[in-house]
Amino acid sequence: MSERDDERFRLRPRPPKDRGKARASRFVKRVLTAASKAGPLALASGSRKSPGANFGRGVVASRFAVARQAARSRRVTIKVRLVKVGASGRPAMQAHLRYIERAGVTPEGGPGQAYGAVTDHADTDAFAERCSGDRHQFRCIVAPEEATSLGDLKAYTRGLMGRVEQDLATRLDWVAVDHWDTDNPHTHIVIRGKDETGQDLVIARDYIGHGLRARASALATEWLGPRTDREIQTGLDREVTAERWTSLDRQLHRLAREGQVGLSQIAAETTDRSHRARLVGRLQQLTRLGLAHPAEPGSWRLAPTAEHTLRAMGERGDIIRTMQRALGSMPVAYAIFDPSIATQPLTGRVAAKGLSDEHHDHRYLVLDGVDGRAHFVRLPPAVDGNDLPLGSVVSVTPRTGPRTSDQRIRALATDGIYRPSQHLAMASAERRAGQDPGEFVAAHVRRLEALRRAGITERLPDGNWRVPTNLVVQGQHFDQRRGGRMTVELESAWPIERQVRAIGATWLDRELVAGNADVAVQGFGGEVRQALKARTEFLIEQRLVERRGSRLVIARDLLKTLQDSELAQVGGELAATAGRVYKPLRHGMSTAGICRQRLQLASGQFALIDDGQRFSLVPWRPVLAARIGHAVRAVVRGTHVTWQFGPTRGLTR
């Protein structure tokens, strides 16, 4: 029977419809994104590696470098973070460059100096300008275990970056700064996300995760020679009693079967008697820490939370060392402020500040508290700490209860769907004082995006959001998992010693009026007690406080009287130098002009508003930070100030 060709089924796809360049661009972008995650080699070989491990530059170099890495190679810790730049990320990039060049990071305690491949004095402003149009950049921390033995970290870094350029087959634009202010000297490297042809620099994940560390280890080994038996054994001996996650712990967890490890498994793992003794000693140490329990003779059961607990203990040890460096030999108790469980505000003096995680720019404060203890405070992402000078008085208040934004989103959701366009229309119609409706709604969308990454909300293709009925409760749990929420307020930028005889309503005066007695007798609390006594004597001299036996009689409106006195004095001094007339503001009065600057006075922060002939001093608000040099209008209503920005803006308090 002959086969007829005309009866065969043939697929004849139609040409794709023209849906516009924007739609096509989005489709191409999705394809490229998927390819970048999967990687062509991984897809072709069916590899089980993480997506994208074989995509980008450095694939072959990574395999070659890792294969040649020997057991006696010098150890180098490397952290690499890909950071999106773009137009909105430039301020954060400049802040990071300023931070790594901060004071006190050189062996002599001086400011850091950025350098590059051919210069010892790199211009970080010019580097930031070159990176302004880039899509991303790479931020690296390179920490050789024997950095002090290497000596010249600058030459080591240049040698390492030279090998990286060979592996990636392109010239790199980078700057680096060496830090010697910790017990583990290290180097910060910022690499521009462009190759020598101007194309986006894409580095394979295998190279970032393994190849780069292998290259750094090989270079350190060439400089110092392979690790000796004694060096290896000394390092392992220290791990036996270490209160952190160690290589011995990793080995024990690898040997464990259903969470249990015994002497027979250890004997089968190694014939080295000294190493067997270390593993058994580590199990005994874990037992003392409550992270392992004898199951039967010669066998231990490891706690499921052992790794998490040991990593937390290691982090706590780093925090305590940071606090000890900040406070010196001062005998104080240490505490870590946890806003998720704290119930009372914390007030103290800023003893130190910096980055708790230099890799992710997470900032911290060390507060010498009025309760006599030193507190480590992780700052929320929105607080960079630049306005909190050393020696200033700061209060940290945990925020309890649900977020107002979560409650508003749930209230506006119809059938479980939140529509930003509907919210924008309502916000535009109401238009609260000084509120930008677009930014107001965008803040809610950013909150929804954060909850989406936690699997709580869902973004729909039409731009709307599906939210659960218990969004408020889940939002609270989400905040608690992330360490809770807090507000950080600058009580006074002036140290308490300077506040004692200041003309102005100081933090000491507010404490005196409030009658706060919850102040310790030791540490900063003891200093506050002495300062309050000295401040009281000064106010008695000014006839603002009267002593009647053992009782103090404070003048009515003490704070307002002190603030008015300071403003009159400062206003007179500014009038004499600026050639303007000082106009004090009372209840119901208003002023309009250019917001010239922010002044830090004993009574707090004030904005100088200049109309060309007269000027006024008005209590500062954070919203003014972006309005310096622009026209504003302020109206005094009792103890509050209402602001207006431009002709289309409403009023804000």
The domains of the chain, with CATH numbers, are 56-224 (3.30.930), 238-304 (1.10.10), 404-483 (no CATH), 493-559 (no CATH), 570-652 (no CATH)
Q: Using CA atoms, how far apart are residues 363 and 377, in angstroms rounded to an integer?
A: 9
**What DSSP designation does 170 have?**
S
**pLDDT-based confidence at residue 99 (cuts at 50, 70, 90):** confident
More confident residue, 105 or 21: 105
For residue 476, give both structure tokens.
């609270």
**pLDDT-based confidence at residue 333 (cuts at 50, 70, 90):** confident
**What DSSP designation does 626 have?**
G
CA-to-CA separations, 308 to 314, 317, 438, 454, in angstroms, rounded: 10, 14, 42, 20
- What is the four-CA torsion angle of 484, 487, 491, 494, rounded to 10 degrees? 80
Res 653 pLDDT > 60: no
The H-assigned helical ranges of 4-39 are: 21-38
| Arithmetic mean of pLDDT over the chain | 83
Residues in the chain: 653
* pTM of this structure: 0.68
Q: What is the pLDDT of residue 381?
A: 72
Res 178 pLDDT > 70: yes
**pLDDT-based confidence at residue 464 (cuts at 50, 70, 90):** very high
Q: Using CA atoms, how far apart are residues 84 and 137, in angstroms rounded to an integer?
A: 7
**pLDDT-based confidence at residue 507 (cuts at 50, 70, 90):** very high
Q: Using CA atoms, how far apart are residues 136 and 192, in angstroms rounded to an integer?
A: 7
266-293 confidence digits (pLDDT tens): 888 888 888 889 999 999 999 999 999 9
Share of the chain above pLDDT 70, in %: 86
Q: What is the pLDDT of residue 635?
A: 85
DSSP-based three-state secondary structure for 571: helix
CA neighbor of 347 nearest in space, from 377, 389, 323? 377
Q: How many CB atoms lie within 10 A of CB 356?
A: 19
Q: Give the H or E element holding residue 179.
A: strand 174-179
**pLDDT-based confidence at residue 504 (cuts at 50, 70, 90):** very high
CA neighbor of 106 nearest in space, from 184, 155, 177, 189? 177
Res 551 pLDDT > 60: yes
CA neighbor of 439 nearest in space, from 135, 652, 633? 652
Per-residue pLDDT, averaged over 418-440, amounts to: 79
Q: What is the pLDDT of residue 36?
A: 47
Q: How far apart are the first and last CA of the chain?
A: 92
Res 197 pLDDT > 60: yes
Per-residue pLDDT, averaged over 123-146, amounts to: 89
Strand ranges in 58-129 using DSSP code E only, listed in sequence order: 76-84
